[in-house]
Structure 1
Amino acid sequence: MSKLLITGATGFLGGAVLARALSDASIESILLLVRADSANEGVARIKNNLANFGCSEVLLSKINENNILLGDLAYSENFLNDERLSSVTHVINSAAVASFGDNALIWKVNVEGTLKFVKRMADVSGLVRFVHVGTAMSCVPEAGTLVTESMARKPEEEHLVQYTWSKSTIEQLMMEHCPQLPLVIARPSIVVGHSEEGCRPSSSIFWVFRMALMLGKFMCSMEDKIDVIPVDYCAEALLLLARRSELTEKVYHISAGDAGSTQFVEIDRAMASALNQNPIYATYQQVDYSELVRNRRNFKEIYGPCNERLMLRAMRLYGEFSMLNVRFSNKKLLDLGMSPPPRFVDYISRCVETTRDFSIPELMKVDFK
């Protein structure tokens, strides 16, 4: 790679990409799209985020005002005339509103603003690769299956949340409006924690496992599997897709695959070990949502001060995801030479340790912003 543009570098996945990219000698320069009032503020936001990924002072010192492209995908027209965009050779587009709540910006950023940005980059004559970060869930997988990559779409009403619908939509629009774009679509599965830093970079989704185990009941079976990868593995795969000169496929899963996916019973044992507690497997109850509703009066006793309605909404949403029992094939990525990811249970103790002092309501804010 020569001149890399990263969007979303103040976030979870984009921050992990930047943390890895700073050590990549093949990258001549890095440009970062950042929401800020000044380049100096942009540098500060980037460095504050990188600190959560364990970056050394030497790496942090590589970031200065020249790396900052001030802008926001919600108002992409405000930065698209920056002349530096015309010299970019590689893009990793990880910026998105990744909320599972009803955020009005989801469509404005993930679809409308992103499409304007993509159209601008499609006109850059020296652009070699545009890696767009989607989500494996955008295909609305059938329960109990090993899912392979496909561009087939499901109607909006089949999507559990607007986020996955927006990701499915922008993939189609990029293909239709910018056929000349050197596009590769990366679809991560469920990204939870960092293999070394645990949940220090973000508590996203990890709190769901804690929430269910604390309650002792949930909508999935303990024998069901879930496809989880750490954010640093995902970042390494994105950089691989960006730097690889020839790719035969348009879409790649970044996932644990069938072999690396983890049963909930394994998660129970690993988390209990990290907390010095007994696993709940013997007493765990698989229930439907109505049973969770009946338990709402106990939420404050179990989780501390919380919004019962928001807790129930989270349980319903993530409960439906947990029951899917899907795995996403990672064969195409592994065929490129990418190593298999660490399994969730291999680093779950780090996630436990870095969230030990936080309540469930505090941890879940990142996914319902």
Structure 2
Amino acid sequence: MKTLLLTGATGFLGGAALEKLLKDNQGVNYLILVRAENVQQGLNRIRANMEKFNINKTTLDKLTPENILLGDLSEPTHFLSDTRINTVTHVVNCAAVASFGNNPLIWKVNVEGTLAFAQRMAQVKGLKRFLHVGTAMSCAPEPGSLVAESAEFEETAEHLVEYTRSKSTIEQLMRQSCPQLPLVIARPSIVVGHTRLGCQPSSSIFWVFSMALMLRKFMCSLQDNIDVIPVDYCADALVMLLNCETLDNDVYHISAGEESSVSFADIDRAIAAALEKPPVGDHYAQVSYEALLQMRRQLKDIFGPCNERLMLKAMRLYGSFAMLNVRFSNEKILKLGMPKPPRFTDYIACCVQSTRGLSIPQQMVVDFK
């Protein structure tokens, strides 16, 4: 039987991965890293997150206090001495500070804590796989490109946010300092929503599209493409990578790829259809950030009560990503037998429905924690 150490299970992607594992009823002995004051509180945090995925009580009851490993990647020494770690056969490391803000914990958790964790797991004799979740954006892609799956990084690459820099750095450090670690890296592209639940588990990033269409202007063109996948597809791919006995590669994109990426015009039409309104279409204008900056006094009229400074920061950051117009090759995961990903527009109506009544400022909190 596998003994799986899962991190990040109180988050969006880690929660979706645990949902997949629990619903598949796989023969797994779980050890779940949770930040909490005591074991019961940790278990309650896991259960609360799983409820966002509509998991029934019977399935949730499979998790008990014995499955909880109390700890925090910002202070890894507190849990790395737990003797249960020596029995672990598989790791799925979803934990990270995924904020696009200037959270001081980004480097401490994503690089320093994760490296200490990887070094400890490299000492576990029975470990068969250490599946680390990175991000496709960690390579700082060239605008307009179809990005290949490669372990190579440009050392001089300029990152738009500290988060992607941290994810690039930790990949390189794990390879350098833990050559014996059975490391496989999964790099999801932009994870938005859930095919059945929409934004119920998390509104992360979906609000950006709604914000741009409410403004009727943004930094990207409607003809630009974006590589978006739902969280449940990403979780399915992670479980496949976890369970494959042998893998030919150690880096896999989990992405929409060239075929399933969508244009912003496609997104405009799909959101409009879900709202039963006409698309923005010809009323949309591609503008510079400076033009958005000049709208500062209008933001509260458009979005309601909001932090204008944070709204403008979000526009600058996400506008810069949107302008990249990149797609990420997904050939390797498809060759393993993973089905083609759904297009964002296939399930966007679920995202619209699940965010009705929520303002843009309310939705964006999760990305600037």
Q: Which bracket does the TM-score occupy, shorter chain normalised?
A: over 0.9
Query: How far is 1:157 from its partner?
Result: 6.5
Deviations 1:199-241 (A, max 9, x none): 0111100000000000000011101110000001101101111
Shifted more, 169-178 versus 22-31: the winner is 22-31
* Residue equivalent to 2:268: 268
Deviations 1:246-266 (A, max 9, x none): 111110000000000011111
Task: Answer yes or no: is the 8 Å Cα contact 1:203–1:355 preserved in 2.
Answer: yes
* Residue equivalent to 1:342: 342
* Residue equivalent to 2:187: 187
Calculate percent identity across the aligned residue pairs: 62
* Residue equivalent to 2:150: 150
Looking at structure 1, the residues matched to 19 and 62 of structure 2 have their Cα atoms a distance apart, in angstroms, of 11
Task: Answer yes or no: is the 8 Å Cα contact 1:265–1:281 preserved in 2.
Answer: yes
Look up the SS of the partner of 2:69 in the other structure: strand
Looking at structure 2, the residues matched to 275 and 19 of structure 1 have their Cα atoms a distance apart, in angstroms, of 29
Q: Which amino acid aligns with 2:180?
A: Q
Looking at structure 2, the residues matched to 59 and 132 of structure 1 have their Cα atoms a distance apart, in angstroms, of 26
Query: How far is 1:150 from its partner?
Result: 1.6
Looking at structure 2, the residues matched to 301 and 150 of structure 1 have their Cα atoms a distance apart, in angstroms, of 45
Query: How far is 1:299 from its partner?
Result: 0.5
Give 1:149-228 correspondences, 5 Å limit. 149-155=149-155, 158-228=158-228
* Residue equivalent to 1:118: 118
Give 1:1-369 correspondences, 5 Å limit. 2-155=2-155, 158-369=158-369
Look up the SS of the partner of 2:116 in the other structure: helix
Looking at structure 2, the residues matched to 337 and 116 of structure 1 have their Cα atoms a distance apart, in angstroms, of 33
Task: Answer yes or no: is the 8 Å Cα contact 2:145–2:325 preserved in 1.
Answer: yes
Query: How far is 1:154 from its partner?
Result: 3.1
RMSD: 1.0
Looking at structure 2, the residues matched to 211 and 358 of structure 1 have their Cα atoms a distance apart, in angstroms, of 12
Q: Which amino acid aligns with 1:192?
A: V
Looking at structure 2, the residues matched to 128 and 346 of structure 1 have their Cα atoms a distance apart, in angstroms, of 36
Q: Which amino acid aligns with 1:140?
A: A
Looking at structure 1, the residues matched to 27 and 212 of structure 2 have their Cα atoms a distance apart, in angstroms, of 43
Task: Answer yes or no: is the 8 Å Cα contact 2:140–2:157 preserved in 1.
Answer: no
- TM-score where L is the length of structure 2: 0.98
Deviations 1:153-209 (A, max 9, x none): 234660000000000000001000110010000000000011111101111000000
Deviations 1:66-99 (A, max 9, x none): 1100000000000001111111111100000000
Task: Answer yes or no: is the 8 Å Cα contact 1:21–1:27 preserved in 2.
Answer: no
Look up the SS of the partner of 2:185 in the other structure: strand
Looking at structure 2, the residues matched to 95 and 202 of structure 1 have their Cα atoms a distance apart, in angstroms, of 16
Query: How far is 1:57 from its partner?
Result: 1.5
Look up the SS of the partner of 2:19 in the other structure: helix
Task: Answer yes or no: is the 8 Å Cα contact 2:88–2:126 preserved in 1.
Answer: yes
Q: Which amino acid aligns with 1:275?
A: L
Task: Answer yes or no: is the 8 Å Cα contact 1:156–1:165 preserved in 2.
Answer: no
Looking at structure 2, the residues matched to 250 and 276 of structure 1 have their Cα atoms a distance apart, in angstroms, of 45
Task: Answer yes or no: is the 8 Å Cα contact 1:87–1:126 preserved in 2.
Answer: yes
Looking at structure 2, the residues matched to 360 and 172 of structure 1 have their Cα atoms a distance apart, in angstroms, of 36
Query: How far is 1:295 from its partner?
Result: 1.4
Look up the SS of the partner of 1:282 in the other structure: helix
Look up the SS of the partner of 1:278 in the other structure: coil
Looking at structure 1, the residues matched to 194 and 111 of structure 2 have their Cα atoms a distance apart, in angstroms, of 28
Deviations 1:262-287 (A, max 9, x none): 11111001101111111001210011
Looking at structure 1, the residues matched to 273 and 22 of structure 2 have their Cα atoms a distance apart, in angstroms, of 35
**Runs of 4+ residues deviating >4 angstroms:** none
Look up the SS of the partner of 2:339 in the other structure: coil
Q: Which amino acid aligns with 1:66?
A: E
Question: How many residues were matched structurally?
Answer: 369
Task: Answer yes or no: is the 8 Å Cα contact 2:9–2:18 preserved in 1.
Answer: yes
Task: Answer yes or no: is the 8 Å Cα contact 1:3–1:27 preserved in 2.
Answer: no
Looking at structure 1, the residues matched to 26 and 268 of structure 2 have their Cα atoms a distance apart, in angstroms, of 42
Deviations 1:310-354 (A, max 9, x none): 111110110010011000000000000000111101111111111
Query: How far is 1:24 from its partner?
Result: 3.2
Looking at structure 2, the residues matched to 24 and 314 of structure 1 have their Cα atoms a distance apart, in angstroms, of 37
Looking at structure 1, the residues matched to 350 and 154 of structure 2 have their Cα atoms a distance apart, in angstroms, of 37
Q: Which amino acid aligns with 1:330?
A: N
Deviations 1:11-44 (A, max 9, x none): 0000000001113344331110000011100111
Q: Which amino acid aligns with 2:183?
A: L
Look up the SS of the partner of 2:346 in the other structure: helix
For structure 1, the residue ranges without an aligned partner over 5 or more in a row are none
Q: Which amino acid aligns with 1:64?
A: T
- TM-score where L is the length of structure 1: 0.98
Look up the SS of the partner of 1:357 in the other structure: coil
Query: How far is 1:151 from its partner?
Result: 2.1
Look up the SS of the partner of 2:24 in the other structure: coil
Look up the SS of the partner of 1:74 in the other structure: coil
Looking at structure 1, the residues matched to 366 and 12 of structure 2 have their Cα atoms a distance apart, in angstroms, of 10
